[in-house]
Amino acid sequence: MTIDSTLDLNNLKEDNPSVVLEKIGEIRFEERPVPEIPEPNYVKIAITHTGLCGSDVHYYEHGSCGSFKVESPMVLGHESAGIIVQVGDSVTRLKPGDRVACEPGVPSRLSKEYKAGNYNLCPHMAFAATPPYDGTLCRYYVLPEDFVVKLPDHVSLEEGALVEPLSVGVHANRLIDVKFGDSMVVFGAGPVGLLAAGVAKAFGCDKVLIVDIVNEKLDFAVQHKLATHCFNSKGKTFEDLLACIKDIWDEDELPTCGIDATGNQYCINMCIRSLAKKGRFVQVGMGGDTLDKFPIAAVLEKELTVKGSFRYSVDDYKYSVQLLKDGKINVRPLITHRFKFEQAVEAYEFSKQGKSIKIMIEGPP
């Protein structure tokens, strides 16, 4: 039996309420036109759940995120799932009523990056809630059929909305070829760090150490089996981290893989230096443009592989849905707070307090 599929396809609402960022610190509800199917391979989705991402909050508080700046009113949201309500004439694998996770970035099919299988790096990417493109925090949204993934019957729409951040963790782990026999250290126990750690376990790491400065987040990671061990680095030195690693790993062994989900230069430095010879490191967290110090000696002397990870790409969404289908990772506990669509302003204000792991907005009604 399919869960939470309650939309009446014979009685669809004809409005499109949207949560719009007018300017820094000001959100309002606005009626936007109902989008039409733009091309035969597109589908129209009734959005049912949207998770709040750190980038959304950054736009709300600062009007920018990285190099992207909001210069005109923009619909927020990009971590969404929903129900198909209409399909284009050439759509073959989806139908109205299907429950789907929405991949919110559509590249140019003509770009060299798309053709090379690196479409997340396409310079012409139309990404939801990244200026100048509107997001998914609305009633209806349209996407090409190959940028939505059908959810298994036993996976909820709430979980479907978390496929987006889960795919970030999947992409990072795939970039450094995490597999059975590897071990992992992850810096940062926010949603992306937690999910990246959980993916590492699912991919075969027998030891996953997660590092943060908030005990509650670390306890959460271990309690919900997203990591095997944790370390609070507040006020601690690199030598303290190494001592922790020696207590967990066999003698003279170090983690083979590392992920930084903080963007903090001290975390990046410690993560790279903690790796074994021939170790692989991937940077996921967005930080400043430059680092004051980089552990170049460790990279050279250990022949480390250092990579950057940006969003997600080919099959990452499918991998993520498969992990949920197989029960290899449980994302439900990450949803610590829920708000109705009409409470979106309160949701964004609450997010600023830092008391949540993942906020979920339900609706529109």
- Each domain of the chain, given as residue ranges in start order, spans 17-150+331-362, 167-308
DSSP 264-310: -HHHHHHHHHTSPTT-EEEE-S---S--S---HHHHHHTT-EEEE--
Q: Of 19, 39, 38, 41, give the one whose Cα is nearest residue 30.
A: 19
**4 falls in which pLDDT band (50, 70, 90)?**
low
Q: Of 282, 70, 18, give the one whose Cα is nearest residue 168.
A: 282
Distance in angstroms (rounded) separating the CA atoms of residues 239 and 176: 26
Structure tokens at 350: 């609450």
Average pLDDT for 232-249: 97
Please state, as a whole number, how many other Cβ atoms lie within 10 Å of the Cβ of residue 91: 18
pLDDT digits (tens, 9 = 90+) for 25-73: 999 999 999 999 999 999 999 999 999 998 888 899 988 887 788 999 9
pLDDT digits (tens, 9 = 90+) for 6-19: 789 999 999 999 99
Q: Are 280 and 307 in contact (CB under 8 A)?
A: yes
pLDDT value of position 2: 52
What DSSP character marks residue 1?
A: -
Q: Are 181 and 204 in contact (CB under 8 A)?
A: yes
pLDDT value of position 5: 61
Q: Which residues contact 103 (CB under 8 A, 6 or more apart)?
A: 143, 147, 148, 149, 164, 167, 312, 317
pLDDT value of position 3: 54
Q: Of 176, 150, 171, 131, give the one whose Cα is nearest residue 81.
A: 150
Q: From residue 211, how far is each of 31, 153, 155, 157, 184 by CA, in Å?
A: 43, 35, 29, 30, 11
Residues linked to residue 13 through DSSP beta bridges, in sequence order: none
Distance in angstroms (rounded) separating the CA atoms of residues 134 and 210: 34
More confident residue, 355 or 73: 73
pLDDT digits (tens, 9 = 90+) for 271-282: 999 999 999 999
Q: Are 9 and 97 in contact (CB under 8 A)?
A: yes
pLDDT digits (tens, 9 = 90+) for 265-324: 999 999 999 999 999 999 999 888 888 889 999 999 999 999 999 999 999 999 999 999
pLDDT digits (tens, 9 = 90+) for 333-349: 999 999 999 999 999 99
Coil, helix or strand at residue 175: helix
pLDDT value of position 329: 98
**195 falls in which pLDDT band (50, 70, 90)?**
very high
For the segment(s) 17-150+331-362, the CATH number from 3.40.50.620, 3.30.450.40, 3.30.10.20, 3.90.180.10 is: 3.90.180.10
Determine the topology of domain 167-308 in CATH: Rossmann fold (3.40.50)
| Dihedral angle sign, alpha carbons of residues 57, 58, 64, 67 | negative
Mean of the per-residue pLDDT values of the chain: 96
Largest CA distance in the chain: 65
User: Is beta strand 183-187 parallel, antiparallel or unpaired with respect to 257-260?
Assistant: parallel
Q: Which residues contact 34 (CB under 8 A, 6 or more apart)?
A: 14, 15, 16, 139, 140
Q: How far is CA 344 from the centre of its chain?
A: 20
For the chain, report the end-to-end CA distance as a whole number of angstroms. Answer: 23
Q: Is the pLDDT of residue 1 over 50?
A: no
